[in-house]
Amino acid sequence: MAADIAKRPDDASPWFDRAWRGLLLGTMTLFVVNIGLMIAAVVTSSFAKRWLGTWLPEGWTTQWYTAAWKEFQLGSVLLVTVEVVFAVVALALTIGVPAAYTLARRDFVGKRFLMLLFLLPLMVPPITYGIPLATVLYKVQLAGTIYGVILANLIPAAPFVILVMTPFIEQIDPNLESAARVFGAGTGRMFWHVLVPLLAPGILAASLLVLVRTIALFELTFLTAGPDSQTLVVALYYAVFAAGVRAPQSVDAMAMVYMMVTLAWLLIALRFVNPTQLVSRVKEHPQPA
C-alpha cells in the first residue's frame, strides 16, 4: 500500500529518478561485489600452492591449514577464545539482566545518571578507556591473564546487555509479577519462575549479540592480553602484523579459521535476531503491519 503511493508518478522527471536509482543500485552492487571478491581472495589464497600475479593459483593444497594450526598454536588460541567469550556472555547476563530489570521497572533518583554511565562505554573509543584500564590492570597484576581479558571485554558487553534487555522487559505485563507476588513468591522466585521464562527470547538474543561482538572485539583484548591469553582476533592481528615472516597463505589460512568461527556464530545469531540489532538497540514494540 505504502509502496504504491511511493511509486505514484510525480513532478520529478522520470529520467532523473531512474538515473538516481541506478546510481544507488550501482554503488551498492559495487560495494557488495568487492567485499565478496575480497573474501574470495582470502579463501583462494589459503588453498593456493603458489599464487603470484595470476588469476588463479597454480595448484591447490590444504597444507597451509595444518601449517597455520601448528605455527600459530591455534588449538590453545581457540580454547582461550571460547573460554573468554562464554565467560563474558555469562557474566554480562548475570549482572546485566537484573540491572535492566530495575531500570525498566523503577523510577529512582539518579536513574538518568546510571543510564548515561551504561551508555558511555559504547560512545567512547575503546582505546581511550582501554589504555587507562590496561594500566590499572597491570598494577593489580591482572593484565596478561585471561581474567584481565574477560574483565576488559565485559565493559562494553554488560551495558550492551542492559540496552538490549530493557525494552524486552518493558514489554512484559507488570501484572504477571504482581500476581506472582500475591501468591507469595519472593523476588528470587518471581525472577526464576516468571521473568526468566518470559524473557528467554530476549536473553537468547542478547547473549548471541554479545557473543558475536566479543569474538570480533579487538582493541580491549589487544591492550590487556598476554601471550597465553590472546583471543583469535588478536592472534590474527599479530599474524598479519608479522606477515613478512611467514607465507601469506598461512596467514590467510588463519584468517579463514577466524572467519569460519565468526560466520558460524553469525549464522546462528541471525536465526534469532534481526541484523540491525547488531548495531542498534532492539525495537521497543513490534511494528504494526
Partner 1 sequence: MSATSAHLARPAFDRTLLLVLPATAFMFLLFVYPFLYGLALSFDPKEGGWLGNYKHFFTTDNQWPTIWTTLKLALPATLINVGFALPIAYKMRVKSRYQRWITTILVVPITLGTVLIAEGMLTYFGPKGWLSQFLQFAHLYDGPIRLTHNYWGVLISLVISGFPFAFLLILSYITGIDPVLARAASTLGANPKAQFRHIYLPLLAPGLAMCFCLAFVQAYSVFPSAVLLGSPAGPTRVISIAAYEAAFEQYDYSLASAIAMIMGFVQLIIVAAVLSLRNAFYRGPVSGGKG
**Separation of alpha carbons 64 and 254, rounded Å:** 9
User: Closest CB to partner 1 among 42 and 204?
Assistant: 42
**Separation of alpha carbons 46 and 68, rounded Å:** 10
Site string for partner 1, 204-243 (x = CB under 8 A): --------x--xxxxx--xx---------x--xx--xx-x
Choices 31-39, 69-77, 78-86, 200-208; region in contact with partner 1 by CB under 8 A: 31-39
CB 249 within 8 A of CB 64: yes
How far CA 111 is from CA of 9, 105, 211, 263, in Å, comes to 50, 11, 27, 37
Least CB distance from residue 245 to partner 1, whole Å?
Answer: 14
Burial of 123 by CB count in 10 Å (0-12 exposed, 13-18 middle, 19+ buried)? Answer: exposed
Total of chain residues touching partner 1, rule CB under 8 A: 97
Q: What is the dihedral of CA 3, 8, 9, 15, to 10 degrees?
A: -10
User: Closest CB to partner 1 among 120 and 196?
Assistant: 120
Burial of 71 by CB count in 10 Å (0-12 exposed, 13-18 middle, 19+ buried)? Answer: middle
Q: Does 176 bind partner 1 (CB under 8 A)?
A: no
Query: Terminus-to-terminus CA distance in the chain, angstroms?
Result: 11
> What part of residues 2-21 is at the interface with partner 1 (CB under 8 A)?
2-3, 5-6, 8, 10-12, 21
Choices 60-68, 75-83, 165-173, 244-252; region in contact with partner 1 by CB under 8 A: 244-252
> What part of residues 93-152 is at the interface with partner 1 (CB under 8 A)?
94-96, 98-99, 101-103, 105-108, 114, 117-118, 120-129, 131-136, 138, 151-152
Least CB distance from residue 56 to partner 1, whole Å?
Answer: 10
> What part of residues 178-207 is at the interface with partner 1 (CB under 8 A)?
187
> What part of residues 145-164 is at the interface with partner 1 (CB under 8 A)?
151-152, 154-155, 158-159, 162
> What part of residues 56-75 is at the interface with partner 1 (CB under 8 A)?
none
How far CA 191 is from CA of 93, 99, 101, 178, 275, in Å, comes to 14, 13, 10, 12, 29
